[in-house]
Structure 1
Amino acid sequence: LAIYYAGSLKRWRIVVRDEVQRDIEKQRADEDIETVMWLNTLLDRFWVTMEPVISAIVVEQADPILQMYRPSFLDSLKLTTFTLGNKPPRVESVRCFPRTDDDVILMDWRVGFLPNDLSDLTGLQAASKVNPKVTLNIRLGKGMVGAGMPIMVEDMAFQGHIRLRFKLMRDYPYLKTVDVMFMEPPRIDYKLKPVGGETFGFDIAHFPGLPTLVKDIMNWVLGPMMYHPNVFTLDIEGLMAATALQDRAIGVLKLTVRNGKGLKNAEIMGSSDPYCKISISGRGELARTKIVPSSLNPIWDETHFLIIRSLNEKLQLEVYDDNKMKKDSPLGDTSFDLSLLEDDPEHEELIQPLTFRNGKQQGEINFGCTFYPVTEQQQALDEGLDPFASGKGVLRITIHQAKELDTSKSLVGQYNPYAIMRVNGKEVHKTKKLRRTNNAIWEETFEVLVYDLEKTLLNFDIKDDRGVAADPIVGTWECKARTAIERTTKQDNWFTLSNAARGKARISCVWMSITDIDMHHAGSVPEPIGIVRLHLQEAKRLKNVEGVGGGKSDPYVRVLLANQSRARTRVIEDDLNPIWDEMLYVPVHSERETLVLEVMDFNAHTKDKCIGSCLVKIADLVK
């Protein structure tokens, strides 16, 4: 019993001691401020190697940003010098607040970057001190006749008291929000020399009243945003989600534009020559059908495949009359809400009226659409599927940057580079043009449809913008799409440029596959489902479309499918009751297709004239 009592008392004392010590630590944490000398010691040791790397990264990354916001009257705007000096920033104190919710971290940081404070430096360190300096080189004029002028900012200093609040979450990225707040206005100092450079430059802070004006403007802008009690919130979760999903393909729309009926006649003589333009939410033309000459009931029977990035948009179909000598005339338009594809991804038979801008309706258009979602490569692998099995899908290409370009092809040692990407020889993207740099950063992303991955070839050219002269090629790269995807997965996406002494480009390719879709190039012919046998026997009482003194029509029959001639009979000369008695065979690819039988008048020296036509629906033959 005595042993049990002694053991119990000992355990009780340990528990009490731990509880008391924990309460004391919490009380101390609420009141004490940590000096974090260990962190400042690490900064002192590492700053010698860290600062040159940080400065080099800033110089490299700043160029494309400066070019993006370069005023039009400047030929170039370049960051030539950036150094933070050899005295590191210091964390003066850190205070943590433990009495918060379990998913909240609350901290106060006092930080300072005071390179001109010599109180904590030895005499040798003070003698060898390097001050922070930033030099911008602006270039006026164009080409080789331009003149450069430096603008310098020196001796920057900063001191502030910042409160940070981190909101955690269980899922990636594990950090939901970050609240930033200055507990008091920060102290910022600098020397600005806009003209004259380092030798003759004059610090504009010497102008009476100007430093106070700049400080008041800064406080006026930042105060309502992040001075206590105002909080500036960074939505990390939202930013990560937006970055991941921004302009990313979610699927492919198979759109079949079949025919129009009862269209308005916009011609004074003859009939309209209609075609259909396809777009999504008015963001520019994505595709268009062929032109059907002289018809108010055109049959297009064309299938187009469109990359879809959101179902909260509208598909727009606009019908126009093709005019050779003037602007094409509108024949009406219609739209389809893509959100309807969420519940039912297949709408094969849509007949909608065509509406003019004044609200009037005339004619209708028949079309169908089916939505196919894409599957990302990693998702397919997680589900035990082969992401490359179908060979069809969307290829997301990002042109990141190029570096160490071969300067031997430049007249001034620097390029105005831009890049062109081609897929199977067809240009699909051209980057923005940068100014006076041999280390280009574009970071431009686009997506292309791929119909056969194994046969898809990527061609990449970097060119130098010479203005009026022809733009020479600085370097090229060629690679199979499958190889580029695999190297991107391995994070080995720096590619050596050919046709150049040196130079590299970083390009990423991400694959998103589509299954259960018969996808083919626009204008190409898919595999047929059968063959229609047509027995063209005779025609009676045809209209004579020959001019005065031209005799009678010379009729023949041509069979059109998807506005393309698939077969035709022989010509019977000078006969309005021709007898052909011929068998024609036409492959068909869908039950929804329609054959057009046109009786034409043959003319040896002018365009053949249409005498009349009739329609044969494949669906009626299948029944």
Structure 2
Amino acid sequence: MDPEIRPIDEQDSETLQRMLPEIPLWVKNPDYDRIDWLNKFLGYMWPYLDKAICKIARNIAAPIIAKQIPKYKIDSVEFETLTLGSLPPTFSGMKVYVTDEKELIMEPCLKWAGNPNVTVAVKAFGLKATAQVVDLQVFALPRITLKPLVPSFPCFAKIYVSLMEKPHVDFGLKLVGADLMSIPGLYRVVQEIIKDQVANMYLWPKTLEVPIMDSTKALKKPVGILCVKVLRAMELKKKDLMGASDPYVKIKLTEDNLPSKKTTVKHKNLNPEWNEEFDLAVEDPETQAVEFHVYDWEQVGKHDKMGMNVVPLKELPPEDPKVMTLDLLKNMDLNDPQNEKSCGRLEVELTYVPFKEEDLPSGFEESSTVQKAPDAIPAGGGLLVVIVHEAQDVEGKYHTNPHVRLIFRGEERKTKHLKKNRDPRWEEEFQFMLDEPPTNDKLRVEVVSTTSRMGLLHPKESLGYVDISLADVVSNRRINEKYHLIGSKNGQIQIEMQWREQLHEL
């Protein structure tokens, strides 16, 4: 019969795909993005990636082979040659998913018709057999997830790899001088075994997890609580003209962006007693220190510094209260002659309480499962964690340099300021230690724009706000939502909140 000729525009989609099977996915499916740049990158890097991947493959295979060969009374299995060849894999498209969680999900479509040279020598019963893998073809649709995203290079803590579909694997296997796959039925059996084993290991939602960095350190999650009790000060120096001073103490952890804690002011007293307690969240006891700064309060003008000192947390025994009398210094430069003059002494009691293992956040699971509060918090109380992620479509009438104000029970916390940004991303975490669940409380979240331009009539303006009831946070333990900003035309802000409750008595 004479062939029927029809224009291409009259063909249905299935016929077109059969006629042109190599059309890239980004052409056939608009959900896939074009990634020619990645194929060029692989082309340039393939000689180096080949060596690196083969080295990893040898290291992974060695213990597996060593474990298996005794079962079959084999003397040894060795790679005589192992190279992936000169043809790199190609990606015909990639899907990228955006979620409200701290993760990046990618689904590339992988095709690899390679020319590897993999030769394996097997020795048993005084004989040696050599097999070679040839004509390898792999078609796979993996899902690659980078999570959690963290503010430390390389900006993700783990890689999770899974397969969305069963991979297509095709190859030849030759013995020296013979084609092993010519044995009837062997090719299909071997191919199906390999395909099923790979699919069973990593078919979604099962995943291969590759740790990159310690996510607890990368995210700077608290690992303990420092209980600080400011007892008293002795022999402080006069700062006021009337022969007295009005001292108070500021307490702060190094490498911590949270506001300092402050004692009350003791008026006209050079030997004040406070006996006031404060709790500070510790992120790294090996590198952090607690700073004490004593000031003379002034009703008008700047408060005068009276002395300071620092205690490294690594000097504190865990869970053992330590009373210390600190000599107050002008500064921490030991060579400064000003430090030879006495500025008085400060007596404090410090107790470092590390979290128990079950209280520590473990990787990305911290975002979906909320841990309980540390033992340092009284029974019935807990830790309210507020994470300010990002905002969209915020715009001021006069300027748009946004930061976020959090107001909770009269206490105010602020994110960093971002300049000229209508879609700001902060990714900042704030913690509130509470003696009781905030069931009847609300959290005020306000986006504010400020400018330092001189002479402007409106140096500060609100870009929108929202009052969030915390009852749902207490009952659900975790909420991660976007809220419409009141007073803004289209503005939204994404806020994550966690309630870590103390579940048992001390």
Compared CA separation, residues 300 and 323, structure 1 to 2 (3 A): same
Alpha-carbon contact 2:228-2:278 (below 8 Å) kept: yes
Compared CA separation, residues 496 and 485, structure 1 to 2 (3 A): farther
Match of 2:497 in 1: 509
- Does residue 267 of structure 2 align to residue 305 of structure 1? no
Report the Cα distance in structure 2 between the residues aligned to 1:88 and 1:175, rounded to whole angstroms. Answer: 18
- Does residue 249 of structure 2 align to residue 276 of structure 1? yes
Alpha-carbon contact 1:450-1:456 (below 8 Å) kept: no
- Does residue 222 of structure 2 align to residue 249 of structure 1? yes
Question: Among residues 422, 427, 436, which one is paired with 2:407 in the alignment?
Answer: 422
Report the Cα distance in structure 1 between the residues aligned to 2:327 and 2:352, rounded to whole angstroms. Answer: 22
Match of 2:324 in 1: 350
Task: Give secondary structure in 2 for the equivalent of 1:300.
Answer: strand
Match of 2:25 in 1: 45
CA deviation profile, 1:400-451 (whole Å, cap 9, x unmatched):
222355x7x758xx955443222235321234334253x4333233333334
Give the AA of the match of 2:243: G
Post-superposition shift, 1:385?
10
Alpha-carbon contact 1:257-1:302 (below 8 Å) kept: yes
Post-superposition shift, 1:296?
1.9
Task: Give secondary structure in 1 for the equivalent of 2:405.
Answer: strand
Report the Cα distance in structure 2 between the residues aligned to 1:263 and 1:317, rounded to whole angstroms. Answer: 14
CA deviation profile, 1:449-506 (whole Å, cap 9, x unmatched):
334332442221234557632654443322233524766847x523344445544322
Match of 1:363 in 2: 344
Using structure 2 for the length normalisation, give the TM-score. Answer: 0.51
Match of 2:295 in 1: 320
Question: Among residues 390, 412, 417, which one is paired with 1:401 in the alignment?
Answer: 390
Match of 2:103 in 1: none
- Does residue 464 of structure 2 align to residue 475 of structure 1? yes
Report the Cα distance in structure 2 between the residues aligned to 1:462 and 1:326, rounded to whole angstroms. Answer: 30
Task: Give secondary structure in 1 for the equivalent of 2:290.
Answer: strand
Report the Cα distance in structure 2 between the residues aligned to 1:88 and 1:43, rounded to whole angstroms. Answer: 17
In structure 2, stretches of 5+ residues that fail to align are 1-17, 63-81, 93-147, 149-156, 161-209, 332-338
In structure 1, stretches of 5+ residues that fail to align are 1-37, 55-83, 115-171, 177-235, 519-623
Task: Give secondary structure in 1 for the equivalent of 2:271.
Answer: coil
Compared CA separation, residues 298 and 100, structure 1 to 2 (3 A): same
Compared CA separation, residues 326 and 475, structure 1 to 2 (3 A): closer
Report the Cα distance in structure 2 between the residues aligned to 1:321 and 1:111, rounded to whole angstroms. Answer: 69
Match of 2:309 in 1: 334
Compared CA separation, residues 477 and 367, structure 1 to 2 (3 A): same
Using structure 1 for the length normalisation, give the TM-score. Answer: 0.43
Compared CA separation, residues 351 and 478, structure 1 to 2 (3 A): same
Aligned pairs for 1:539-558 (under 5 A) are: none
Match of 2:236 in 1: 263
Compared CA separation, residues 500 and 106, structure 1 to 2 (3 A): farther
Report the Cα distance in structure 2 between the residues aligned to 1:465 and 1:288, rounded to whole angstroms. Answer: 27
Match of 1:100 in 2: 58
Report the Cα distance in structure 1 between the residues aligned to 2:306 and 2:229, rounded to whole angstroms. Answer: 19
Post-superposition shift, 1:44?
0.2
Compared CA separation, residues 507 and 248, structure 1 to 2 (3 A): same
- Does residue 445 of structure 2 align to residue 460 of structure 1? yes
Task: Give secondary structure in 2 for the equivalent of 1:296.
Answer: coil
Match of 1:440 in 2: 424
Give the AA of the match of 2:352: F
Greater relative contact order (Cα 8 A, min sep 6): structure 1 or 2?
Answer: 2
Give the AA of the match of 2:404: A
Compared CA separation, residues 103 and 278, structure 1 to 2 (3 A): farther
Alpha-carbon contact 1:403-1:505 (below 8 Å) kept: yes
Alpha-carbon contact 1:253-1:305 (below 8 Å) kept: yes
Match of 1:169 in 2: none
Give the AA of the match of 1:294: K
Give the AA of the match of 2:493: A
Post-superposition shift, 1:298?
1.0
Question: Among residues 475, 482, 486, which one is paired with 1:494 in the alignment?
Answer: 482
Match of 2:268 in 1: 294
Compared CA separation, residues 264 and 382, structure 1 to 2 (3 A): closer
Compared CA separation, residues 261 and 507, structure 1 to 2 (3 A): same
Give the AA of the match of 1:309: E
Task: Give secondary structure in 1 for the equivalent of 2:386.
Answer: strand
Alpha-carbon contact 2:318-2:352 (below 8 Å) kept: no
Aligned pairs for 1:198-213 (under 5 A) are: none
Alpha-carbon contact 1:271-1:295 (below 8 Å) kept: yes
Compared CA separation, residues 501 and 103, structure 1 to 2 (3 A): farther
Alpha-carbon contact 1:275-1:320 (below 8 Å) kept: yes
Alpha-carbon contact 2:319-2:353 (below 8 Å) kept: no
Match of 1:565 in 2: none
